[in-house]
Structure 1
Amino acid sequence: MAGNQLEEAMADSVRLALSKAVSDASPPKPSFTNIDERIKYLNWLGEMSVRLKRRIPDYQTRIEFLETVWYESKRAGLDPAMVLGLMQVESGFRKYATSVVGARGYMQVMPFWSRVIGDGNAKMLFKMQTNLRYGCSILRMYIDMEKGDLYLALGRYNGSRGKPEYPNAVLANWKNWEYKK
């Protein structure tokens, strides 16, 4: 079900905001205002690591991946479980996944995005942080465009707007990645 995002006309202000979002080189290091938030994050990280072990066997790679998922999701105002559900559907958590239409990486970002909002280097879409930053920023933009309607935003992300299969698959997988304390 890998993505087939469509290149759409967008206002310069939107293009500039997306470009700024993906060019910020902030490392994925969480900061917390209190110890309870940090403990909750560490518990989430431990639980997700166990759940993801079969798909990403190497411990260090898995932890770096989850830290980046959490950071980029929160940075874009998204639920990390939704982002994990989307990646499960899009790429099966494969870093080098490439769809028949050319979408790349974990979040199956189309190469035109690197030209529209990035530096034009589509090879960077196989870099974990770059792929997650682009994917989360693009998904956030689509959610905003659809005024919070996740069903329509997910369809737009996949290039299947108005068709139920993709949004339903992501929403079902989202539930599998929810963290219950």
Structure 2
Amino acid sequence: MVSLLKFQRSNLDSRRGPWHQLTTIAGILSLSLLFALSATVSAQPSDQGKTSLRGKPQQIDEELRLLLKQTIEDSDSFEDRYDAEVWLVSKQNNLKKYIKDPEERMDVLRRIHRAARRADLQPEIVLALIEVESHFNRFAVSRVGAQGMMQVMPFWKNEIGHPEDNLTEIDTNLKYGCTILKHYMNKADGRLMEALARYNGSYGQYWYPRRVMDAWEKHWR
């Protein structure tokens, strides 16, 4: 019986011919290549999220944690260094779209200018980042829980020992956000595009930095 089955299988293979055999071999090779590529892609490392604002990183950036802690606790060291009235007047028109009340608009601009200068950042870049992140909505909350104008993740409050901080409070949110952005500027040796990508948690990609720079070019330059 076994011999008969072998004969029938051999006879069937011979009728299929060499083209069928080549097709079968090609299919096996294609599957092998597909599995190999899948394994390679799965093994690729990802930097996203290691120091991201979009979710708690697997490993906290200790240098950034200490810097945030010092910044939040050392609020008395901040002083305005020059009169920003000309700057305020020049920027308030572009903010009308997001903040209708003139007094509130000027107050928000003043706070952003002060926080950016204290962190040694360009206020115009911070304005562009906030436009992209929250449209200047202090109560904005992202789908992953980032809060406030600069969309800071709440886990940072516990990391620096300030769980009571309110990230929807403008000055607090700006201190966190500007300190974090400045840290990434230093880490990137002043390369703004890289720092913005790190801030967003998309290091190695440039869709987010381009959005910020587009906003800067159109509205805040």
- After TM superposition, the score normalised by the length of structure 2 is 0.70
**Aligned counterpart, 1:21:** 71
Instruction: Confirm or deny that 1:134 pairs with 2:176.
Output: yes
Counterpart among 190, 199, 205 of residue 163 in structure 1: 205
1:6 positional shift: 4.8
Task: Tell me how far apart the structure 2 counterparts of residues 73 and 102 of structure 1 sit (CA, whole Å).
Answer: 24
Asked if 1:146 corresponds to 2:188, the answer is: yes
Q: Is the 8 A contact 2:65 2:156 kept in 1?
A: no
The sequence identity of aligned pairs, in percent, is 37
Whether 1:31 and 2:31 are equivalent positions in the alignment is no
The structure with the largest alpha-carbon Rg is: 2
Could you tell me how far 1:56 is from its partner in structure 2?
0.4
How far apart, CA to CA, are the structure 2 residues paired with 1:4 and 1:164?
16
Instruction: Specify whether residues 57 and 28 from structure 1 end up closer, same or farther in structure 2 by C-alpha distance, changes over 3 A only.
Output: farther
Match of 1:125 among 124, 149, 167: 167
**Which residue among 102, 106, 119 is the counterpart of 1:63?**
106
Name the CA distance, whole Å, in 2 between partners of 1:166 and 1:20: 28
- Secondary structure (helix, strand or coil) at the match of 2:75 reads coil
Please tell me the residue identity of whatever aligns with 2:66.
L
More helix by share: 2
- Specify the code of the residue in structure 2 equivalent to 1:10: D
Deviation, 1:93, is 1.0
Residue 103 of structure 1: which of 146, 152, 170 is its match? Answer: 146
SS in 2 for 1:125: coil
1:53 shift after superposition: 1.5
- Determine the structure 2 residue equivalent to 1:83: 126
Q: Which runs of 5+ in 1 are unaligned?
A: 33-37
Q: Deviations over 1:89-140 (max 9, x none)?
A: 1111111111000000100000111111251135x00000000110000000
Task: Supply the AA of the counterpart residue of 1:127.
Answer: E
For 1:169 and 1:117, how far apart are their aligned partners in 2?
Answer: 30
1:175 counterpart letter in structure 2: E
Q: Which amino acid aligns with 1:108?
A: Q
Aligned-pair CA distance for 1:176: 2.8
Equivalent position amino acid for 1:42 in 2: E
AA partner of residue 151 (structure 1): M
After superposition, the C-alpha distances for 1:122-167 in whole angstroms (9 at most, x for unaligned) are 5x00000000110000000111112212122111111111112101
Question: How far did 1:27 drift?
Answer: 9.2
CA RMSD of aligned residues (A): 2.0
How far does residue 44 in structure 1 lie from its aligned partner after superposition?
A: 1.0
Structure with greater contact order relative to length (CA < 8 Å, sep ≥ 6): 1
Whether contact under 8 Å (1:5, 1:158) holds in the other structure is no
How many pairs does the alignment contain?
168
Q: Does residue 1:115 correspond to 2:147, yes or no?
A: no
**Structure 2 gap segments, 5+ residues each:** 1-52
Distance 2:111 2:79 in 1: 8
